[in-house]
Structure 1
């Protein structure tokens, strides 16, 4: 049984991701760990317009009941749920729970603005992706779960990418979907043509297809790829000191996370060390 962690701030964005996470658990016989992390120095968010700020534990109990009802309303009453409330910084709370419970995947809601629903998840998703070395699936506010037919995977043809693909393939096959490996060629290839051919050869018997585009603008290249191949989910490996740093600091990863319909699955490079 796969264990999935879902951090929540009780917002509509989080509720949307909660439903998505329950669908994954239902499809893969998973168990969902729901985490609310709060700071004693900040106010606990209201659960409803009529709710008064008070003891966090009382609000947490009320929220558990609401989320259990949300699960039933969406026909996920059979999904195993465990609820945790932790005082402290979100990333550290996640790291502690991941270690204690052997969590394999984190599902988080993301927003693309600094509005009232961006108090925790919108601003903290980036921190989780960069500091927690297990896969993180970020769900944009407008994204609804649909059957996955095509998964996009951005690659630079290295060994880490190959390891990720090997881990992904069984799940993608179970969903009767295909993986489209996408590479942006900016005219400065690190790998030789022969190395790239050898890299691709190891997946010749798998549902993996390769798409390459010569493009100076990485953002435009990726979004064109998503549209042209009807990608339902985008995935990539983070690289703290190289590609991921350039991509993330230029807000590309953030923009992809906030795409209105495409969830982003990120694999941390340290998970292979």
Structure 2
């Protein structure tokens, strides 16, 4: 059974991600762990400025609300576990991940962070940068749908191969395909022979390769998303410049993509 951690700040964005997380649990026989973390500096007025009793009462109300959301979306069968922790969110997540053997974190990309003009809110970025397990970020207007095509940015190295091997069993269960995109800017670290050998290890799997010769990496990735009808984009965060630039692009690009494409990130420390 897969164990998924879902941090919530009680926002509408979080509620949307909660439904998405439950759908994943339903499809993969998963168990959902719901976490709310608060501090004495909490900005939520109705939490009583960090008052534990007020926070506890609000959390109980939210538990009832989440059970209602589950029932309304025919997801009442998904096992739910609730945790309220006083402290910083990232540390609370690290504690639960280690104690509960969590496989995946699902969270909304905006919410009460107040960073609505960015693709990934500061809270989500903080989690992605500090937690070593995969994080699935759900844009605030993204609705769950069956995944047919998963995009994956690659530089053809062993870390990429490890991620693909982890993804393939789940992608096969969903009867979907993985499309790997490599953007060639003319300075390749691998020889053509090395690239061919790297690809051969996936010849029996639903993995396809797309190469684009283009100086503008961002435009190449967005064209790739359109051309192959990508439902979910995934990457390793060691490619930090690409990671940041793709999801902090122009306003027009944001309006086109960030509201509908979930992002699955794998931290580079997973491989150390």
Q: TM-score surpassing 0.5?
A: yes
1:194 matched residue in structure 2: 193
**DSSP-derived class of the 1:55 partner:** helix
Q: Could you report, residue by residue, the CA deviation over 1:225-269 in whole angstroms, capped at 9, with x for unpaired residues?
A: 000000000111111xxx22x224x54245599711110000111
Q: Secondary structure at the match of 2:126?
A: helix
Counterparts of 1:248-259 in structure 2 under 5 Å?
248=243, 250-254=244-248, 259=258
| Separation (CA, whole Å) in 2 of partners of 1:46 and 1:234 | 36
Cα deviations by residue, 1:27-74 (Å, 9 ceiling, x for unpaired):
000000000011112243549xxxxx9711011111111111111111
Which shows bigger deviation, 37-46 or 213-222? 37-46
SS at match of 2:93: helix
Distance of 1:113 and 1:97 partners within structure 2: 22
> Retained in 1: the 8 A contact 2:4–2:33?
yes
Asked if 1:16 corresponds to 2:16, the answer is yes
Q: Is the 8 A contact 1:44 1:56 kept in 2?
A: no
| 2:235 equivalent in structure 1 | 236
Change (3 A) 1:25 1:44: same
Task: Return closer, same or farther for 1:226/1:268 CA change in 2, 3 Å cut-off.
Answer: same
Change (3 A) 1:131 1:205: same
Paired with 2:127 and 2:79, the residues of 1 have a C-alpha distance of 24
Aligned partners of 1:4 and 1:32 also within 8 Å: yes
CA contact (8 A) 1:152 1:233 kept: yes
**Corresponding residue of 2:67:** 68
Q: Is the 8 A contact 2:30 2:78 kept in 1?
A: yes
1:174-200 deviation line (CA, Å, top 9, x unaligned): 110000010011111111111000000
Q: Distance in 1 between matches of 2:113 and 2:220?
A: 27
> 1:237 & 1:175 partners in 2: Cα distance?
22
Aligned to 1:101: 100
Partner residue in 2 for 1:87:
86
TM-score normalised according to structure 1 size: 0.90
Cα distance in 1, alignment partners of residues 113 and 102 from structure 2: 29
Rounded Cα–Cα distance in structure 2 between residues aligned with 1:72 and 1:45 = 28
* TM-align CA RMSD: 2.2
1:95/1:162 CA distance change after superposition, 3 Å: same
Q: Counterparts in 2 of 1:27-42, with a 5 A limit?
A: 27-42=27-42
Q: Does 1:141 align with 2:140?
A: yes
**Structure 1 residue 267 corresponds to structure 2 residue 261:** no
Aligned to 2:242: 247
Which residue of the partner structure matches residue 50 of structure 1?
Answer: none
Alpha-carbon contact 1:140-1:259 (below 8 Å) kept: yes
- The answer on whether the counterparts of 2:9 and 2:111 sit within 8 Å (CA) in structure 1 is no
Contact 1:181/1:208 (CA < 8 Å) preserved in 2? yes
How many Å apart are 1:81 and its aligned residue? 0.3
Give yes or no for contact 2:141–2:259 (8 Å, CA) kept in 1. yes
Cα deviation for residue 215 of structure 1 reads 1.2
- Consecutive unaligned residues of structure 1, counting only runs of 5 or more, are 48-52
